[in-house]
Amino acid sequence: MTEPPSGNAPALPTCPRHPDRVALVSCQRCGRPTCPECQRPAAVGIQCVDCVNEGAKSVRTAGGIFGGTVTRGKPVVTYTLIGICAVVWLIQKAVPSFTADIWFAPVQAGSEPWRMITSAFAHSPDSIFHILFNMYALWICGQYLEPLLGRVRFAALYLISAFGGSVGYMLLASTPTNVQDALRSGWFTPTVGASGAVFGLFVALVVLNRHLGRDYSQIVVLIAINAVIGFVVSGIAWQAHLGGAITGGVCAAIYTALKKHPSWQWAALAAVVVVLVALAVWRYQTADVPALILRAYGF
């Protein structure tokens, strides 16, 4: 016959986070009992989830080669940029007038300068290949550059290159001399697309890989092929490609030259933006576009 348990038997330990659960395993760090749900594998034994979280706070974030925070996992900025472009393209397809609301023509720089950025997120609604090529190029470059630079520096590279592409288009666009030729001139011809920013990523990849002693021959071939296409095929804004490429190269050079002084990089990037703004203002003010033409088209 089995005897009933004594009333003085010691109570079993319970988990501090889940008092209703018996915990027969102790944390190697704090010694408290921890239930299976709160256990985390450690180098020796297990630790409780509270000790793991506390330890993570004391670990210094690793710095990247060029001063940015090392990022692991999915390239979040790259995917976000692709997602924005895809959503904008779908809106363009659904609302045809939307394209004209965000495209950029140099003549609009004075009254609506924000178009110099928004146009980089729009693509031709008449052809899916335009957005597909740019997003594929962004995906390829982003997977490499974003972990290398860190998310914030990669985003800055992309946006400044996009702005540089618009400035390049503005600087090299032809200006009309009469009303009949106005709409055929580059000054009145709108442009859309992420190509300027993508070319900035292309050249940045070359500059960074050259600095690191890595092979960059394939990307040089890709740049050359696309540069030739920009001059041969009509309807492609090669001026934006050139502006974005130069800007991306300058930004990458800043990252390499100031990699030991990460905080200085932001001041240098800000100086690049200031120079681009100054060039755009100078070009707009000195463009030889007769006032009669501007009034004829509502500018």
pLDDT digits (tens, 9 = 90+) for 192-212: 999 999 999 999 999 999 998
Average pLDDT value for the chain? 86
Which residues, listed in sequence order, are joined to residue 41 by a DSSP beta bridge? 46
In a domain, 58, yes or no: no
- Residue 174 — φ and ψ, nearest 5°? -75, 145
pLDDT digits (tens, 9 = 90+) for 110-140: 889 999 999 999 999 988 999 999 999 999 9
Sequence-distant contacts of 127-133: CB under 8 A, at least 24 apart? 130/193, 131/85, 131/86, 131/89
Amino acid at 161: S
Residue 290 has pLDDT above 60, yes or no: yes
Asked whether residue 139 falls in the same domain as residue 210, the answer is yes
Asked whether residue 23 falls in the same domain as residue 116, the answer is no
Asked whether residue 149 falls in the same domain as residue 248, the answer is yes
Asked whether residue 143 falls in the same domain as residue 195, the answer is yes
Kindly report the pTM of this predicted structure. 0.76
In a domain, 102, yes or no: yes
Q: How confident is the model at residue 63 (pLDDT cuts 50, 70, 90)?
A: low
Asked whether residue 34 falls in the same domain as residue 137, the answer is no
Asked whether residue 142 falls in the same domain as residue 257, the answer is yes
Asked whether residue 25 falls in the same domain as residue 111, the answer is no
Residue 194: predicted pLDDT: 95
List the CATH number of the domain containing 123: 1.20.1540.10
Residue 149: predicted pLDDT: 93
In a domain, 59, yes or no: no
CB-count exposure of residue 48 (10 Å: 0-12, 13-18, 19+): buried
Q: How confident is the model at residue 1 (pLDDT cuts 50, 70, 90)?
A: very low
Q: How confident is the model at residue 19 (pLDDT cuts 50, 70, 90)?
A: confident
Among residues of the chain, what percentage have pLDDT more than 90? 52
Start-end of H helices in the chain: 49-58, 76-94, 98-102, 115-118, 128-149, 151-172, 179-182, 195-212, 217-232, 238-257, 262-286, 291-296
Count of domains forming the chain: 2
Asked whether residue 147 falls in the same domain as residue 273, the answer is yes
The distance from CA 233 to its chain's CA centroid, rounded to whole angstroms, is: 28
Mean pLDDT of 39-54: 77
Mean pLDDT of 235-261: 93
Domain boundaries, position 31:
11-48
Residue 230: predicted pLDDT: 67
In a domain, 56, yes or no: no
In a domain, 203, yes or no: yes
End-to-end CA distance of the chain: 103
Amino acid at 274: V
Residue 233 DSSP one-character state:
S
Among residues of the chain, what percentage have pLDDT more than 70? 86
Asked whether residue 223 falls in the same domain as residue 91, the answer is yes
- Residue 41 — φ and ψ, nearest 5°? -60, 140
Asked whether residue 34 falls in the same domain as residue 99, the answer is no
In a domain, 294, yes or no: no
In this structure, the dihedral spanned by the alpha carbons of residues 173, 247, 130 and 297, taken in order and rounded to 10 degrees, is -30
In a domain, 292, yes or no: no
Asked whether residue 133 falls in the same domain as residue 242, the answer is yes
Give one DSSP letter per residue of 45-93, joined into a string.
SEEEHHHHHHHHHHSPPPB-TTSSBP--SS-HHHHHHHHHHHHHHHHHH
Q: What is the rounded distance in angstroms from the CA atom of residue 131 to the CA atom of residue 121?
A: 9
Mean pLDDT of 53-61: 59
- Residue 287 — φ and ψ, nearest 5°? -65, 130
Q: What is the rounded distance in angstroms from the CA atom of residue 37 to the CA atom of residue 70?
A: 30
Say if CB 103 and CB 119 are below 8 A apart: yes
Asked whether residue 149 falls in the same domain as residue 243, the answer is yes
In a domain, 4, yes or no: no
The distance from CA 122 to its chain's CA centroid, rounded to whole angstroms, is: 15
Q: Which two tokens stand for residue 17?
A: 């986070």
Residue 229 has pLDDT above 80, yes or no: no
SS3 37: helix
